[in-house]
Structure 1
Amino acid sequence: MKLKHLIFCFYLFFSGLAAAQEGMSKGDVLFFEYRYKSAIQEYLKEMRKQPLTVQQYLNLSESYLKLGDHERATKAYLELYKKDSVLPGYHLNKMLLGIRQTRGMDSVKVFLSTGSSSLSTELYENALFNFDLQDESIDQGVFPDIFNLNDNSPQSDFAPSFYRDQLLFTSARNLDSKKTYEPSGESYLDIFVARLNIKGDIVATRPFRGIPNFDYHQGTPYFSEELDMVFYIRSNEENGNLVFDENGKNALSVGATDRSGNFRFLLKDLSTSFYYPFYDSASGKLYFAANFDDSLGGTDLYYVYTNNGLIMSSPVNLGPRINTPGNEIAPYIFEGSLYFASDVFYGLGGMDNYKSEILEDNVYSIPVNLGKGLNSEHDDFGFILKNYQENSLIGYFASNRPGGKGNDDLYGFIIQEKPGIKTFTLNGSVLNLKTNERIPAAEIRLFNQEGKIIKEEKTDEKGMFRIEIPWQETITIQATKNRHSIFSDTYTGDALSQIQNTSYNMGIVSIDDLVEEAEDQTVLKLNKFYFEKGQSKITPAIAVELDKVVDAVSRFPQMQLRIESHTDSRGGSSTNFRISQNRADAIKDYLESNGVSSSNILYSIGYGEDKLLNDCTNGVFCLDTFHKKNERQLIVVLNYDLLF
């Protein structure tokens, strides 16, 4: 059974039911009966009499696709798109797939650059990122030697799952106990088990007897060793008969069989089909694919919380970072990575295998195509992986690529490290160091070893960011904003891996938090400090304030400063001038000895008592408080208006 049948035809309609539905044309009836060639002929006849509805035009386009006529499908989609540029997401994906097949990926990129407003931000980012990864200059990661399993049948074999030291999988191979499923012409699906030999191949394939016998579809198993339970899908049935919803649809439910052979339904809805259950023992979540009404495209990935396999919550959609306008199926988690399959337009073929890192609860990195080999121009799906002998990994998946034994075949591989293109992901925030508040719209830049910008992003309204690029051995990370300082740090090798696993926070400072107006000029904001009487020695208290100047210049290296020192009127004027100059020079020496370049300090001037701020001149009695007002040190920013 082709994968498209798994997704769209895993249910039955009563014969003639569609014809009985009011308002449906003959073309509609043929389409819903999967008779796509006849549906096309009928729709073309109906077009000569009156224009097709939008839905009928979509049916016509999809019918061409089902028959592999990408040229006519693309033409039909584009004609409809010109009339109504807001296509349903599922059909938008199909149109882009057709453009890719008939005109090449460059045409898809051009379309996105001119019409991407209809795509979600996540989908657009996913597409651009995976386009970049297809660049041959990018390290494509590990390419395993892939082998076709010997026990594949002429029918469909897919959905592998580890079962202790054996392999479970789904097959349409004929069994005397199974009827024929009319839409595919093959037997109703069933679950089989096979032993694994030392080379990772399967032998001694036989029907799996760990679940109750069933006359209709059952498949896509997952065995939980922790619960000693098999999760799988099966047709909705009661008392040995299929159960249909009001539209004549027999959908697929998710159930589980325990070690004693007892079966119970877990997820069942007569109008919704469920696929590929996967139980994550670490979180207690049961993942699955389903075609709910709120899906972002065709089939989306969801999870529910469980208590030892019992459903404890409503389904949660994995969101637009994972789910697309296409179909997503076959979730599988291994060592913090979520693997799944999708037929989204930016893949290599039909269904492709992808990997996304689980960053936190229901937060994921950009899904990365696993690349050629594990993916092809055809359908590749149902990827699984586990640790194997001698520090290696063994994995399996299904594909209908040429050279197989049947419709869908099982393939295996043994590999030394996790497959897929290695990426660098950074999550965190940009903070104002003065207020410790996050800064929205701050600019994030990543540079490679040659100083070329690899990626640019901005923090969101909460001052948070997430950025992802193909792996580089050396990366410089920068953060800044207009009228703010620049944060910059460089990481290499293991240090890059370490910062991926933490919240990476970068601190910057606004120039406006560092300066103030004083005496009609812009000065650095410092607490007032005093030298000892008649002295110019830098005390620890003075050093604390001058270190703020060092920090300010390190953050704004273009600052040009003038150091001003003033005394009060007590003492001789020439003595006061000398003391103030000594103090200005002492400040300059301290700054330069602590990293401030001499090019940043244009002047150091002692004014003595020439610029008093009050009437406390020679011969005038003043309290010490008023004299103290005249004794001051100013660090003037000469080029403040030119810095930005």
Structure 2
Amino acid sequence: MFKVKRIFPVLFTFLLGTVVGSAQSKKSKGDDYFFQYEYQRAVTAYEADLAEGTLSMEQYLNLADSYYKTNNFEKASEAYMKLYKQDTLLGNHHFNKMLQSFARTSNKERTEAFLATKSSNFEKEFLQNLEFNTQLLGGTDPSEIMDFQIFNLEGNSPQSDFSPTFYGDKLLFSSARSQDKKRRYVPTGEGYLNIYEGTLQPNGQFSTATAFTGIPTSKYHKATPFYTEKLESVFYVLSNTQNGELSFDENGKNSLAIGMQAKEGPFYLLLKDLSTSFYYPFYDDKDDKLYFSANFEDGYGGTDIYYVHTNRGQIMSAPINLGPRINSPGNEIAPFIFENSFYFSSDVFYGLGGMDIYKSNMEGSGFSIPINLGKGINSSKDDFGFIMRNDGDGLLGYFSSNRSGGKGNDDLYGFKVDEKPGLRTLIVKGKVVKSNKPTEIVGKAAVQLVDTLGNLLAETYSDEDGSYRLEIPWTKHLVLKAVKDRFSETTQQFTEEELEAMEGNSHEIQLAAYDDLVEEREGQTVVKLKDFYFGRGRTQLTQEIKTELDKVVAFVKDFPFVQLRIETYTDSRGGSSTNFRLTQGRSDAIKNYLIHKGVPEANVLYSIGHGENKILNNCTNGVYCLEVLHKRNQRSLIVVLNDNILFN
């Protein structure tokens, strides 16, 4: 059913060693070595079979994985590429391994070429994550990298120590140090995993570790604990057993379950499936969700992060995948939430090493682009199991790594830092609304961030409720642009101080809707204005007229390519020549005001007085009419001459 995937060296080797060995057909000596994690021996055996032409495609994939596990990335990339060209066994997680092999052989061009031809195979969120982190890691100013005080813990052993969790003034963690020297875990030669505790000192260290007695005893694996103060309970993974012995599915597979042990209460087995393994539980006190990693077949890659709704830890829903914003073609593990930031580890190929730690901001039910925490926390090796809490004026945290200089296969590392770790980014978000009707939203508007040279940094479209969100690596100067067909275009420049003030706040973008600002009158498209009237026989602009003309000024500012014609008419009273001169004076007065208020002369092509040449009713010369009927003929129109081609 569910095929087990290696998620990182220690946890895979320890927790999954007995999973697949008995279920494999032994067609090659290389198979024996491969499924016992003796990858160098597997390479030798598989290569011998390859020379004799007896290697199956599945075994060739095992050979590619063996090259990968032994850091022979040149041969791994070639083997994966051959399999890819034959369109055989490569799933998403093997695509990720192939790209990681390319990245580790500095074959950037090959990686980019592959992605360019296969981008349609990936989720758009993954491609956005890729582009963003590539830009972030490639353009990081060394002066902006946080000064971490990272220290190896004195309590580490020569065996594997990993997956820490806070337990009051103590630290719980997983370890392969053995209490029973007679019971050894064959694939590694170390002990079965167990949970240990150490008392934290003021400097963040602990020197002595003892076996944690707050969970039921077992001869098999117990690991990756998480303690929740709200429930006073420890969540952890454990081998599936029955009557004290390992239990297997029909394919001979023993998987991992998640259990919960209350401090002063019973043990609950929460997630169990003999064909699926569950890893790294994390319980969120705020919303009663239990997060974990699992290798379900329908995931986005190898191991994905899921959550279930609970009632004080008791499962109340089916597993829900966090989606392609978090999960990638690689393996995602070790979820942890701190102050609305979601931390996890991933071996996606664009990171700094094998497993890297990422941070994503939680926004409602969604997540921001996960960003690599950068050098310091992350290395060229595996870095995972990140936790953190407030400590005095700063923060104290821990993580696991197999970086060089440690005491064992994986070691626990501590760090102290003044603020939340992670390369700095800038989030610009808010709503797009109509400038003349701010309560009305504008959906599907293109919103862009560009640098001062005009280079596009990021682009998105406002959604159905007008919301938009963009995130880029931190910059000191920025230009924001927004546009939509038949709407105005806005361009705003921001200084460093303005960007600092914008952080965490919503920024409203106002766009003018062209169709709201014009109307059809007398067979022409004109700027929509309230009717206004000059004094009898006068050309002077009243304040009422200026107020309406200011709308024209704003209209031209929003749509700078409009071409206007000013037309003024009067009623039939008075002489024809006098009325012509009067309306021409009024049109000229309107033009002069617009130009004085900043409208370019090039936008006002004509100002024409029509006198009484176009009477709209029966109030012609010699006909008696009420004043209200005469006023219908006293009008000024601002005609948009190029309406039919303005948006072509």
TM-score (structure 2 length as normaliser): 0.89
1:150 aligned counterpart, secondary structure: coil
Of 237-246 and 130-139, the range deviating more from structure 2: 130-139
Q: Does 1:18 align with 2:35?
A: no
Task: Report how far residue 358 of structure 1 moved.
Answer: 0.8
Structure 2 CA distance for partners of 1:566 and 1:7, relative to 1, 3 Å: farther
Output aligned runs, 1:290-439, within 5 Å: 290-361=294-365, 363-389=366-392, 391-432=393-434, 439=442
Distance 2:505 2:275 in 1: 43
AA matched with 2:424: K
Output aligned runs, 1:130-279, within 5 Å: 130-138=133-141, 140-176=144-180, 179-260=183-264, 262-279=266-283
Distance 1:82 1:12 in 2: 31
Equivalent position of 2:582 in the other structure: 579
String of CA shifts for 1:392-416, please: whole Å, max 9, x gaps: 1111111111111110011111111
Match of 1:79 among 73, 79, 82: 82
String of CA shifts for 1:165-217, please: whole Å, max 9, x gaps: 22111111121288211222110111111122222111222112222322211
CA contact (8 A) 2:240 2:247 kept: yes
CA contact (8 A) 1:443 1:456 kept: no
Q: Does 1:549 align with 2:549?
A: no
Where structure 2 has 5 or more consecutive residues not aligned to the other structure, the ranges are 1-5
Task: Report how far residue 364 of structure 1 moved.
Answer: 0.9
Task: Report how far residue 500 of structure 1 moved.
Answer: 5.0
1:421 aligned counterpart, secondary structure: coil
Distance 1:548 1:567 in 2: 22
AA matched with 2:12: I
AA matched with 1:322: I
Structure 2 CA distance for partners of 1:566 and 1:8, relative to 1, 3 Å: farther
String of CA shifts for 1:441-471, please: whole Å, max 9, x gaps: 53222134x3533424241674654321011
Q: Does 1:116 align with 2:119?
A: yes
Where structure 1 has 5 or more consecutive residues not aligned to the other structure, the ranges are none
Percent of aligned pairs sharing the same letter? 50
CA contact (8 A) 1:178 1:187 kept: no
CA contact (8 A) 2:61 2:89 kept: no
Structure 2 CA distance for partners of 1:166 and 1:593, relative to 1, 3 Å: farther
Match of 1:470 among 463, 469, 473: 473
Task: Report how far residue 38 of structure 1 moved.
Answer: 4.9
AA matched with 1:344: V
AA matched with 1:91: H
1:272 aligned counterpart, secondary structure: coil
Task: Report how far residue 495 of structure 1 moved.
Answer: 5.1
Structure 2 CA distance for partners of 1:252 and 1:41, relative to 1, 3 Å: same
Of 100-109 and 196-205, the range deviating more from structure 2: 100-109
Distance 1:147 1:214 in 2: 32
Distance 1:229 1:272 in 2: 24
2:480 aligned counterpart, secondary structure: strand
Q: Does 1:288 align with 2:277?
A: no
CA contact (8 A) 1:2 1:407 kept: no
2:590 aligned counterpart, secondary structure: helix
Equivalent position of 2:3 in the other structure: none
CA contact (8 A) 2:380 2:403 kept: yes
String of CA shifts for 1:132-160, please: whole Å, max 9, x gaps: 11224546431312111112110001111
Of 71-80 and 564-573, the range deviating more from structure 2: 564-573
Of 100-109 and 156-165, the range deviating more from structure 2: 100-109
Task: Report how far residue 243 of structure 1 moved.
Answer: 1.5
Equivalent position of 2:528 in the other structure: 525
Equivalent position of 1:70 in the other structure: 73
Query: Over aligned residues, Cα RMSD in angstroms?
Result: 3.1
Distance 2:482 2:89 in 1: 37
AA matched with 1:472: T
Distance 2:19 2:565 in 1: 89
Q: Does 1:4 align with 2:9?
A: yes
Output aligned runs, 1:507-518, within 5 Å: 507-518=510-521
Task: Report how far residue 81 of structure 1 moved.
Answer: 1.6
Structure 2 CA distance for partners of 1:179 and 1:2, relative to 1, 3 Å: farther
String of CA shifts for 1:299-335, please: whole Å, max 9, x gaps: 1111112222222222111110111111111111111
Distance 1:123 1:491 in 2: 29
Structure 2 CA distance for partners of 1:53 and 1:637, relative to 1, 3 Å: farther
